[in-house]
Amino acid sequence: MHLLANTVLAVSLSFAAGAGAAGAGAAPGAGAAAPPPGGVPLIPRAQLFGNPSRIQGRLSPDGRWLSWIAPRDGVLNVWVAPAAQPDQGRPLTNERTRPLRQHFWAPDSRTILYVNDTGGDENFLLYGVDVQTGAQRTLTPFEKTRVQIVGISPLVPDRILVGLNDRDPRWHDVHSLDLATGRLTLVLRNEGYGGFEADQQLNLRLASRPNAAGGSDWFRIVDGRVEEKPIASIGLDDSQTTAPLGFTADGTTLYWLDSRGRDTAALVAEEFATGRTEVLGQDPRADVGGVLSHPRTGVVQAWSSEYLRETWNALDPAIAKDLEFLRNRLQGEIDVTSRTLADDAWLVVVDPVNGPAATWRYDRATQRLTQLFVNRPELVGAPLVPMQPLELKSRDGKTLVSYLTLPPGSDANGDGRPEQPVPMVLLVHGGPWARDSYRFDGEVQWLANRGYAVLQVNFRSSTGFGKAFISAGDRQWARAAHDDLLDAVEWAVRNGIAPRDRVAIMGGSYGGYAALAGLTFTPKTFACGVSIVGPSNLQTLLDSVPPYWEAFREQLFRRVGDPRTEEGRALLRERSPLFRAQAIERPLLVGQGANDPRVKQAESDQIVDAMRAKDIPVTYVLFPDEGHGFARPENAIAFNAVAENFLAQCLGGRAEPIGDVFRGSSVQVPHGARYAPGVEAALRAP
């Protein structure tokens, strides 16, 4: 769990304002602008941040159905079609306001399940819809409750395990949910456990409890009772890189991602009865990040690690042939996203990085590949650009895996450097316990298209590169973690990527904090900053974390700063941009969702109020129906319209006029509309 990744059902959602997969329909007036000198047209914002045509394809376990998420009347909903007739799709849900961003099949292949919240409040409820009849039910009909999926198994088709914090907002009681009747039966009352692991018979086998070291202790569950003595104790250093992955179907083997006794997380198989372990895969440069498991047996067949790019390693010779075939036939980053229970058909997503992703069906027996859809067909043929993986060095010798994207036409000889320096946006990821990757990124392509080099840096605290790299960022907010960003900017200037006086810093959540830190702690380094849902006061941030983060609280205090001690409070104040607001001398744009439960609106209000009190220009954009990021496409497009015109004023890049894209958005500008070009006129537009 971390500050900036919005995780439900272990599926990570992007925080970003207008992150590609979470967008919706084109806003009125968002047409293409005239081509600039040089002949490279502006890509309309709506094509990058509006609704994708289709995303998230899934095969039903029995292979009869194909589902996906696509717009219905301008809002993302779940669709379904017979797998043999993918062109016969029909909408299955009818969400009218909040886009659906994830769905999954119940093991009976008769029901599609999905979660959604209200206005970004992250009180996710679970819904089920019958594929044949379209009848829909709210399966967890509770207020101010956040559902967790504890267990789903193909061996138990009629029920699943869910966690509900309706009794105590800090802890999730485990219930068995009957899919046919919707009946919830209490399995375990939770008195202080942060997570559970069930086997494929849906028996609870393990429970984790936070420990005083900032990690967690894992306990066996026998006959519904949690044993008193832990079988594993994980400390702070291993807390981000060690966790169970699941049991085999026979319940004899438990898989772990495990960094104990090593730096990077390895794939480990534990013989559960004896505790004997075997390392199945490891990479000295990067953590094991993903696995492919047989849909019936649960046996892990392949694993991946991602250093500069993701690589897959097969354990099962049968699947090795499939992976090799896919690598040879499909160009791009390949992810297997869905497999039938018989394992005769897969869905494979291919990400070319400089183009929109496509979803293919792969029939294993015949090795037949059929393209089903492209996520954003309107981007096919658009002037999209490649991403370059880099290894940069920090001032203390750490390797910073980074990615550089150059504006189209700037690198005529293809050597990875512009012919002359171009303005640059340092785009900082959230988390900080997350990472940037070699993937198609609509935000990156948008900025590059507007004329900017885009530099993404995996600074210390970033995940994926071992526990030592994560721990090196502990209590280093606005210190060594920020120095890594400054070192990357210095590299870019020294190597002719960007002129020193035309670099902006931009990001969301922790990236938003980094933008505020950049303008307050190093006020002359950046030409301007864009902070999206960024915390400004670390004390109030930690005072207001959601109650369901209780299991994470000790780790958070140890990695950021401990508000329970005088020394910790002094550190938090020292590292808070709010108390250095008077140092800001460059333009700032702030974006915030009013319902954000992680970085509350007060974090943006405070920094804006402090700047107003000192008469320092700042533009504040607020969305009353959003949370930790902007999910509604109308809002995403509206914010990015402001942002690109703001950046154009600061850096001299290009911008599509704001026009009337505020129409249909909930956008409010409580302060500073006059400081961002076109905003006042857009607010007056009918």
Q: Yes or no: say if 450 and 644 are a contact pair by the CB < 8 Å rule.
A: yes
What is the structure's pLDDT at 344? 98
What is the structure's pLDDT at 11? 26
User: Is residue 452 predicted with pLDDT exceeding 50?
Assistant: yes
Q: Give the domain range for residue 469.
A: 6-24+387-535+587-684
Nearest to 21 by CA among 59, 53, 60: 53
Q: Yes or no: say if 562 and 553 are a contact pair by the CB < 8 Å rule.
A: no
Q: Give the pLDDT band (50/70/90) at residue 38.
A: low
User: Is residue 315 predicted with pLDDT exceeding 70?
Assistant: yes
Number of residues written out for the chain: 686
Q: Yes or no: say if 404 and 388 are a contact pair by the CB < 8 Å rule.
A: yes
Q: How would you list the strands of the sheet with 55-59, edge to edge? A: 55-59, 65-72, 75-82, 90-91
What is the structure's pLDDT at 31? 34
Note whether residue 75 is domain-resident: no
Catalytic-role residue among 60, 176, 394, 509: 509
Helix (H) or strand (E) holding 443: helix 442-449
- Rounded-to-integer distance, Cα 676 and Cα 563, Å: 37
Q: Where are the alpha helices (DSSP H) in 254-365?
A: 317-329
Note whether residue 673 is domain-resident: yes
Note whether residue 461 is domain-resident: yes
Strands 588-593 and 619-623, how do they pair?
A: parallel
Q: Yes or no: say if 125 and 141 are a contact pair by the CB < 8 Å rule.
A: yes
| Dihedral sign from CA coordinates of 538, 539, 545, 549 | positive
- Rounded-to-integer distance, Cα 492 and Cα 455, Å: 8
Please state the rounded mean pLDDT for residues 503-530. 98
- Rounded-to-integer distance, Cα 354 and Cα 389, Å: 13
Q: Give the pLDDT band (50/70/90) at residue 36.
A: very low
User: Is residue 373 predicted with pLDDT exceeding 60?
Assistant: yes
Note whether residue 430 is domain-resident: yes
User: Is residue 310 predicted with pLDDT exceeding 80?
Assistant: yes
At 233-259, the pLDDT tens digits run 999 999 999 999 999 999 999 999 999
User: Is residue 457 predicted with pLDDT exceeding 50?
Assistant: yes
User: Is residue 14 predicted with pLDDT exceeding 70?
Assistant: no
What is the structure's pLDDT at 686? 83
Structure tokens that stand for 139 in this block: 């399966």
At 264-286, the pLDDT tens digits run 999 999 999 999 999 999 999 99
What is the structure's pLDDT at 1? 32
Please state the rounded mean pLDDT for residues 37-41. 72
Note whether residue 249 is domain-resident: no
What is the structure's pLDDT at 3? 53
Note whether residue 327 is domain-resident: no
Nearest to 118 by CA among 595, 547, 450, 617: 595
User: Is residue 305 predicted with pLDDT exceeding 80?
Assistant: yes
Quick check: bond before 432 cis, omega within 30?
A: yes
- Rounded-to-integer distance, Cα 359 and Cα 346, Å: 10
Note whether residue 114 is domain-resident: no
- Rounded-to-integer distance, Cα 109 and Cα 65, Å: 8
Nearest to 41 by CA among 424, 451, 405: 451
Counting the structural domains of the chain, the total is 1
What is the structure's pLDDT at 277? 98
Q: How far is CA 553 from CA 123, 219, 541, 548, in A?
A: 19, 20, 12, 9
User: Is residue 18 predicted with pLDDT exceeding 60?
Assistant: no
| Dihedral sign from CA coordinates of 350, 462, 648, 26 | positive
Task: Kindly compute the dihedral angle of the four CA atoms of residues 70, 73, 75, 81, in this order, to the nearest 10 degrees.
Answer: -30
SS3 of 196, please?
strand
User: Is residue 9 predicted with pLDDT exceeding 60?
Assistant: no
596 is catalytic: yes
Catalytic-role residue among 322, 596, 604, 625: 596
At 555-581, the pLDDT tens digits run 999 999 999 999 999 999 999 999 999
Strand ranges, E, within 26-183: 55-59, 65-72, 75-82, 90-91, 103-105, 111-116, 125-130, 136-138, 148-151, 159-168, 171-178
More confident call, 31 vs 352: 352
Note whether residue 562 is domain-resident: no
Give the CA count within 13 Å in the CB-facing half-sphere of 657: 11
Helix (H) or strand (E) holding 390: strand 387-393
Phi-psi region of 633 (alpha: psi -120 to 50; beta: other; left: phi over 0): alpha
Please state the rounded mean pLDDT for residues 657-676. 96
Average pLDDT score over the chain: 94
At 157-190, the pLDDT tens digits run 999 999 999 999 999 999 999 999 999 999 999 9
Nearest to 83 by CA among 327, 321, 359: 359
Catalytic-role residue among 628, 665, 666, 671: 628
DSSP bridge partners of 178:
159
Check which CATH number belongs to the domain holding 593 and give it: 3.40.50.1820
SS3 of 444, please?
helix
At 459-506, the pLDDT tens digits run 999 999 999 999 999 999 999 999 999 999 999 999 999 999 999 999
DSSP bridge partners of 238:
none
SS3 of 639, please?
helix
Q: At what angle do helices 480-494 and 510-521 cross, to 10 degrees?
A: 70
DSSP symbols for 590-613: EEEETT-SSS-HHHHHHHHHHHHH
At 116-154, the pLDDT tens digits run 999 999 999 999 999 999 999 999 999 999 999 999 999
Structure tokens that stand for 485 in this block: 């960003």
429 is catalytic: no
- Rounded-to-integer distance, Cα 432 and Cα 194, Å: 21
343 is catalytic: no
Please state the rounded mean pLDDT for residues 9-21. 31
Contacts of 470 (CB under 8 A, 6+ apart): 237, 240, 241, 433, 460, 461, 462, 463
User: Is residue 537 predicted with pLDDT exceeding 50?
Assistant: yes
- Rounded-to-integer distance, Cα 137 and Cα 140, Å: 9
Structure tokens that stand for 682 in this block: 């857009």
SS3 of 404, please?
strand
What is the structure's pLDDT at 23? 31
488 backbone dihedrals φ, ψ, rounded to 5°: -70, -40
